[in-house]
Structure 1
Amino acid sequence: MLFKKYIMSYGFYSGEESAMEKTVIRNAYVASQDPLIGNQADLDILIEGNQIAAVGRDLEVGDAAVVDATGCIVMPGFVDAHRHIWQGAIRGVCADWSIMDYVTRIRMNAARFFTPEDMYAAQLQGSLEALNAGVTTLTDYCHNILTPDHAHEAIRGSAESGMRAVWNYGFNFPPSESPHFKSLDQRVAFLDEIAAGYFSSPDNLLTLGVAPEEAGLAASPEALDRQINAARNVGARMFWHANGGPTPEGQAPRDVAALAERDMLGSDITFVHMAATEPDEWQMLADAGASVAFTPETELQMGMMWPSSITAREYGVNQAYGTDIVSNNSADMFTALRLGLQAVRGRVLELEGAMETGVPVTCQEVLDWGTIDSAKALGLDSVIGSITPGKRADLVLLRGDAITLAGWDRSNVAGAIVMQAQSTDVDTVWVDGRVVKKDGQLVADAKRPCALLQAASERLHEKISAAGGFALSEAQAAGRMMAVAGSEHGEYVFDNEVV
């Protein structure tokens, strides 16, 4: 009954609820991401209900509503393959932090102060922020589920936004003085509940994913395997932080190899960060049909090494891109793709010397990574990621006459999108055939979500400050990172006290 209340009160957008009117986008320069259509000028796109019905020139569309896209670029919506939306409520706090600063100060400390209301505010505002920037689908890695209500409110915020998302149930045990979940049994049981309660319909804009604990935080390999099996039991794809950098001893983590040795590796896992992956592991990923996801804005800052896009390409491993955390950086896929592309180009130049002509990675490739390849990493490439008849109408219209795009090179539309365009150029956004942004403005009123987030941020900063601030002592940080080991055995340790 609780799940029915949430669904009926706040509404999941489904195929049946999509507007059934017809819309034709006329005379657009289409960057389709479909190899059969390619990039073409002066194309029409017909939207019927929630689907792309046709792509071509001079389409006969009857009484369809008309959007004049002359001089504009229409592309598939960006697919952000990795984002922790809940951290929007502490925006920018780790702009000058390392990865250990982030883990100890947010994951091991600040996370425990979030209320369900804070989760709702962050999820709603963060999803609208993504839509505003042309992201129509994202992977929400929600690893701060302190109580069932934290999950309920996070899902509610995402559902209200109208965003298409894979909402990831995080198995992490955030340290808490009064934990609700004290065992993995409880975590698994709650996953089963929400899978049946929220995600039973394949037509929902929200689909279920699972984020298992990192190998270094899981109580044991057996505990990690149980989380993976729990995800598979409910048919959920997994997204997993792995091989993000060397171990404290300077060794490769070999997270992929460890899964393979236990026969847990599969095509249903997208591995995130992954720059410390060894050659034999890349081959394991290729053989399994798994995907990887990179987030250059955090990886380059926090010591997670260079994005391994060239290596992934060499081994034929599908790769995706994401924005990661607005507690550190932008929520903008234009920025993530541009930075990732230039980082990869620069790394090749550093290793191989000057290039006589051409570049090792093209703008078209990186646009693939942020659209169709990211959709594949989410298991949704048959539904979204390209402008293909029969797929869902998740589209973005960029103003070609904007101050930042005027005069763009018609021979390289991918170059214009990746190297020139900005989120301010996003004029119109469709998700599942619904207009969610028009004439440069969100259709939803963003004032309330922004006010809710601001209030949540102020509450959180006040509580964190009263508790001594973000930073922990070395003993506190080490103790809290060990807490999950106790929780696996029915005891939860917080600052050396069993609670």
Structure 2
Amino acid sequence: MTRLSLVAGCAALPLSLPLTALAQDDDPSGRRYLLSGAQVITMQGGWTPPAPLDILIEDGKIARIDADIEAADATEIDLSGHLLTPGLVDSHWHMWNTIARGYERSDQGGFAGTMKPLSGAWTPEASALSVELGMALAVNSGITYVNNWAHNVKAPEFADAEIAAMAASGVRGRFSYGYPQALGQGALMDLADLETTQSDWPEDSLIGLGVSLRGPDRSTPEIWTQEITKARDLGLPVTFHMGGAPEAAEKHNVAALAEQKMLGKDIHVVHMTSAPEEDLRKLAEGGSPLIISPWTELEVGYGVPDPGMMKDAGLEMAVSVDNTVLAGQINMFEVMRLTADLADGHAHKQQALPDADVFDWATRQGARSIMAPEGVGTLTEGGPADLIAISTEGLNTRPAASPDFLLTHAAEPEDVSFVMIAGEIHKENGKLIRVDLGDLTARADAMMGDLAAQAGVQ
């Protein structure tokens, strides 16, 4: 039976969408675009030098990449003065609390103290609105694929609300079905509803399904082994936090995972900020990638991540924004800059972690690390038409000595002039064209005020 999903935006426009709404409503079938004039970075196999190439888009995919393409019946978009790259990949973002920007500085005593009462007061409508706002922030920052790490699924309707809001956005991504914030370490998440959700999932969707767990740091061995086993039985990728704070790293739970044969390419670990090099190498040997969120790891007090050491341990790497509660803004360019510069600072050496490598973590390698669909994070003939154009002629970006430096240290969201996802234009001439920002932010502000008052948070 098809489940109903609640998308709540404003009281004047309640929406109920079936799970089949995950299939794109606005079908780009038959639309053809010719993107010309840009310097193109394809990221095929890793960093690629910019080249003057045209890209022909047909039916939501890249039909051809070549110089001087002739396509008289296609709509031509001149992107002269831009770098054209794959869209950025965010591998770990708790989208349900996007409207709670900055609330970790409340009178409740920091992130955990504030989010506990807020998460208890949270509603499906708040989760949907947070995802709606988050997707607008993603597109604005050039993010075209989001792993929505949904760790406040208090009931099935919370999952339905986030899924439907993701589908309505037209942004590609994954919904990683999670658990309620209040769930005890010895209690199972709702595995029955996870299975129901998986059985109803359509094949022709921009949104995939995964699982976010508490993992060995935050649940008992009986629980995390059962939850990982169930996710694997369903064929779903798994992600969990581990080794962030020093006290968590001291558990060395990567050894427990290895012993239970619960590492691998389908197990995506987040943080490991305080983990020793030995644990990082064991994680790499097990085949699991590592996702870092350096801004929030600093903000929450986990310590100072060392991306260079993580790379040297042999890990496949991905980067993320994590959440707005701590990070404030959604800005993958700042995430890339901090990632590169933290490695340099730890190594006491410039370019210890090359800028080109960091851009790879935010595109091709990041997508591969979290098992995103084939072609995400690259520009490849036959692959998805998910791409962004960054101006090289703005105040932030001109002059710039090299394109890898421009992308990881100079550019900002305001320099992202054009965003296309699955052949659909989401940002053009620097403006979001599918979102009423005034209405969206007003609804978010009002809802957050109501929730804070209900939770007693100031």
TM-score normalised to structure 1 length: 0.84
Alpha-carbon contact 1:112-1:175 (below 8 Å) kept:
no
Which residue in the other structure is 1:123 paired with? 131
Paired position in structure 1 for 2:383: 391
Q: Deviations over 1:334-353 (max 9, x none)?
A: 1111112112211211xxxx
Could you tell me how far 1:269 is from its partner in structure 2?
1.0
For 1:275 and 1:36, the matched residues in 2 are separated by: 25
* One-letter identity of the residue aligned with 1:335: E
Other-structure match for 1:323: 321
Distance 1:187 1:95, change over 3 A: same
1:284 pairs with 2:282: yes
Letter of the 1:342 counterpart? D
Choose from 101, 111, 126 the match for 1:102: 111
- Map 1:235-384 → 2, pairs under 5 A: 235-247=235-247, 252-329=250-327, 330-349=329-348, 355=349, 358-380=350-372, 382-384=374-376
Q: Please show how residues 134-149 of structure 1 align to structure 2 within 5 Å.
A: 134-149=142-157
Cα deviation, residue 272, structure 1: 0.4
Deviations 1:419-441 (A, max 9, x none): 11110011110111111111212
Q: Deviations over 1:427-482 (max 9, x none)?
A: 110111111111212121333332321221111111122xxx37xxxxxxxxxxxx
8 Å CA contact 2:244–2:271 kept in 1: the answer is yes
1:148 CA drift (Å): 1.4
Q: CA deviation at 1:4?
A: 6.0
Deviations 1:368-396 (A, max 9, x none): 11111110122026221011212101000
Percent sequence identity over matched residues? 26
Q: Which residue of 1 aligns with 2:160?
A: 152
CA distance in 2: counterparts of 1:37 and 1:15, whole angstroms? 34
**Structure 1 residue 14 displacement after superposition:** 4.3
Number of residue pairs matched by the alignment = 445
1:478 corresponds to which residue? none
| Paired position in structure 2 for 1:432 | 422
Which has the higher mean CA deviation after the structures are superposed, 147-156 or 5-14? 5-14
Q: Which moved more, 1:53-62 or 1:63-72?
A: 53-62
Residues 47 and 357 in structure 2, CA contact (< 8 A), matched pair in contact too: no
Q: Is the 8 A contact 1:109 1:175 kept in 2?
A: no
Distance 1:255 1:110, change over 3 A: same
The C-alpha deviation readout for 1:168-217, integer Å capped at 9, x for no partner, is: 111345269xxxxx952x711010111112x241x311101101114343
**Judging changes above 3 Å, is the alpha-carbon distance between structure 1 residues 225 and 399 closer, same or farther for their aligned structure 2 residues?**
same
- On the 8 A contact 1:44/1:56 being kept in 2, the answer is yes
Whether the 8 Å CA contact 1:79–1:371 is kept in 2: the answer is: yes
Distance in 2 separating the partners of 1:325 and 1:362: 26
Whether the 8 Å contact between 1:86 and 1:119 is mirrored in structure 2 is yes
CA contact (8 A) 1:28 1:74 kept: yes
Secondary structure (helix, strand or coil) at the match of 1:207 reads strand
Aligned counterpart in structure 1 of residue 450 of structure 2, from 454, 459, 466? 459
Residue 40 of structure 2 is aligned to residue 30 of structure 1: yes
Q: In the alignment, is residue 192 of structure 1 matched against residue 195 of structure 2? A: yes
Report whether the alignment pairs 1:215 with 2:224: no
Counterpart of 2:13 in structure 1 is: none
Distance 1:323 1:36, change over 3 A: closer
CA contact (8 A) 1:10 1:156 kept: no
How far off its partner does 1:125 sit? 1.2
Distance 1:97 1:360 in 2: 40
Tell me if structure 2 keeps the 8 A contact 1:306–1:344: no
Call closer, same or farther: CA 1:19–1:307 in 2, change over 3 Å: farther
**Partner SS state of residue 216, structure 2:** coil
What secondary structure, in the 3-state scheme, does the structure 2 residue paired with 1:20 have? coil
Per-residue deviation, 1:37: 8.6
**5+ residue gaps in structure 2?**
6-15
Alpha-carbon displacement from aligned partner over 1:403-425 (angstroms, at most 9, x marks no partner): 2223333xx21111111111001
Q: Does 1:80 align with 2:96?
A: no
Query: Following TM superposition, by how much is the alpha carbon of 1:57 offset from its aligned partner in structure 2, in angstroms?
Result: 0.9
Distance 1:291 1:175, change over 3 A: closer
* SS of match in other structure, 1:158: helix
Stretch of structure 1 that moved more, 223-232 or 445-454: 445-454
Rounded to whole Å, the distance in 1 between the matches of 2:331 and 2:107 is: 20
* TM-score of the superposed pair, with normalisation by structure 2: 0.91
In structure 2, the CA distance between the partners of 1:45 and 1:91, relative to structure 1 (3 Å rule), is same
